[in-house]
A and B are shown apart, each in its own frame.
Chain A
Amino acid sequence: MLTLAIDTATDHGSVALCEFGSHIHSRCFAERTHAAVAMAAILELLQEVGANPADVSRIVVGDGPGSFTGLRIGYATAFGFGKAHKNVGIYSIASIAGAARGASDGIAGPVVALYDAMRGEVFAAAYDFSGSNPAEIAPPVVCTLEELADRFPVVAAVTGEVALAAPDFIHQWTGRNPVALGVESPVAAQLVKLANEGFPMVSIDNAVAFRPNYGRVPAAQDKWEKEHETELPNPTG
């Protein structure tokens, strides 16, 4: 089974390709080049493993939380691929779960991954990969750094771009330094790993109805709802 993974949820995108049980081939993108580079990188990987696009049997897309344009580029790439090759199954796993998986080797207990949610907040989620059944302990939430200790009282490791930018804070919170995700093992490669390990995935059967996990409402909607003290009845996007 040839699995392709696409992660474009954050500024640094990646793609990965793996025949089950074999080495994971991957490519990282330079910052903010998702639209220009993703498909070219996929074709490069296919050439590297000697496969054709029609050989891909499933695509795993990193489902945020994260960038609106990034997520749409990732999904549009997958859906375009799926349209051309009818036998491919399209699935999603939270991108942040991939980040957590990348920091989990040798760690017993919850791994918390942090992504930048902007507006002074972070996306945070916790996973436990130490048992035979890798599992989500806490789905992605939006909170401030200061709220993390209350939300995640037991932590074995912390990773993610936000964590690496605030090592002192992470050490104060957990007693440990944040764990970096290696360039040789980008998030897309971790998504392939998770898929092969049986991590729960969402099967996307209806591309039109599917909505990516942007993680939070747009700033304009947030402002409108605060001003009007009610939820926007028909939010767009």
Chain B
Amino acid sequence: MSVQGEIEGVSLSMDGLRELAARVFAEMEHGAVVWLEGELGAGKTTFVQLLVEEAGGQSASSPSFSLVNDYPTGSGDVYHADCYRLRSEEEAVDLDLWGLSRIARLLLVEWPTRAGDNVPPPTLRIIFAHVGDPARRSVQVKRC
């Protein structure tokens, strides 16, 4: 399952999500920006946790006062920003996502459209959705 081409709405189990996360980390170039999209509970943060684990970083979590989580890995830092709570695009200025994209091994952004022009355009979009089976998620991958 390469992420260089498009993946159209496949239904993945947790193991499948883990495999996808490993692929994204392995195949995305240094500084790639990955937009994680989908409604609440669709699997975006779980995907981040899996990717960080696969990258050899520490497990992702949501510390109360972080704006952007930084996970050092052997090949550079994976940054994870969640724009879920932003009230306006202007609030994303303080996140400095453009600056982070210049130094990141990977920049993962949840709810990216809430940041407007303050988030760099995606190298890869991953769109998550619920399916009938709560243990699986529909995943669409678009190389941009």
Docked-complex contact B40 and A69, CB < 8 angstroms: no
Q: How far does the alpha carbon of A144 sit from the alpha carbon of B95 in the complex, in Å?
A: 30
Docked-complex contact A32 and B93, CB < 8 angstroms: yes
Q: How far does the alpha carbon of A221 sit from the alpha carbon of B94 in the complex, in Å?
A: 22
Which residues of chain B have C-beta atoms less than 8 A from A68's C-beta?
Answer: 85-87, 91
Chain A residue at smallest Cβ distance from B85: A68
Q: How far does the alpha carbon of A32 sit from the alpha carbon of B115 in the complex, in Å?
A: 14
Q: Tell whether A70 is near chain B: CB-to-CB under 8 Å.
A: yes
Docked-complex contact A218 and B85, CB < 8 angstroms: yes
Q: Tell whether B117 is near chain A: CB-to-CB under 8 Å.
A: no
Interface residues of A in 184-230 (CB under 8 A from B): 207-211, 214, 218-221, 224
Chain B: number of interface residues, binned into ranges: 20 to 34
Chain A residue at smallest Cβ distance from B96: A35
B49 to chain A, nearest CB (A): 13
Q: Tell whether B92 is near chain A: CB-to-CB under 8 Å.
A: yes
Docked-complex contact A32 and B94, CB < 8 angstroms: yes
Docked-complex contact A32 and B90, CB < 8 angstroms: yes
**Stretch in A72-80, A126-134, A165-173 touching the partner:** A72-80
Chain A: number of interface residues, binned into ranges: 20 to 34
Docked-complex contact A232 and B40, CB < 8 angstroms: yes
Q: How far does the alpha carbon of A228 sit from the alpha carbon of B121 in the complex, in Å?
A: 31
Which residues of chain A have C-beta atoms less than 8 A from B111's C-beta?
Answer: 220
Which residues of chain A have C-beta atoms less than 8 A from B45's C-beta?
Answer: 236
Q: Of A68, A214, A232, which is in contact with the most chain B CB atoms at under 10 Å from its CB?
A: A68
Docked-complex contact A237 and B84, CB < 8 angstroms: yes
Docked-complex contact B40 and A224, CB < 8 angstroms: yes
Q: Tell whether A118 is near chain B: CB-to-CB under 8 Å.
A: yes
Docked-complex contact B64 and A207, CB < 8 angstroms: yes
- 14 more A-B residue pairs beyond the given contacts A11-B90, A32-B93, A69-B95, with a C-beta to C-beta distance below 8 A: A32-B91, A68-B85, A68-B87, A68-B91, A69-B91, A70-B91, A70-B94, A72-B67, A76-B66, A218-B87, A220-B40, A220-B84, A221-B40, A232-B40
Instruction: Give 15 pairs: A residue, B residue, CB < 8 Å, sorted on A.
Output: A32-B90, A32-B91, A32-B94, A35-B94, A68-B86, A68-B91, A69-B95, A76-B66, A207-B65, A214-B85, A219-B87, A221-B40, A236-B40, A236-B62, A237-B82
Closest 4 CB pairs of A and B: A68-B85, A69-B94, A76-B65, A35-B94
